[in-house]
Amino acid sequence: MQIRDIVYGLGDFIEWTFGILPVAGNIPNILFIVIGFIFFFYWMGQMNKHKKQGGPV
């Protein structure tokens, strides 16, 4: 087994994963946006708690 075989195998795998993207459509984008909003509101809640406890602004 040569390094070339490993590199080509890895390249083929990465190319295969790109084939999944059209099937998935916008679902990954929507998931990232929803998860981002969840973390944003969680972080703002933590900052609000910190502010109420008299922490530095």
Q: What is the dihedral of CA 13, 15, 20, 23, to 10 degrees?
A: -160
DSSP assignment of 30-54:
HHHHHHHHHHHHHHHHHHHHHHHTT
Query: Residue 56 has what DSSP assignment?
Result: -
57 touches 51 (CB < 8 A): yes
Distance CA(20)–CA(13), nearest Å, equals: 11
pLDDT in tens, 7-26: 999 999 999 999 988 888 89
Distance CA(24)–CA(31), nearest Å, equals: 11
pTM for this one? Answer: 0.60
44 pLDDT exceeds 90?
A: yes
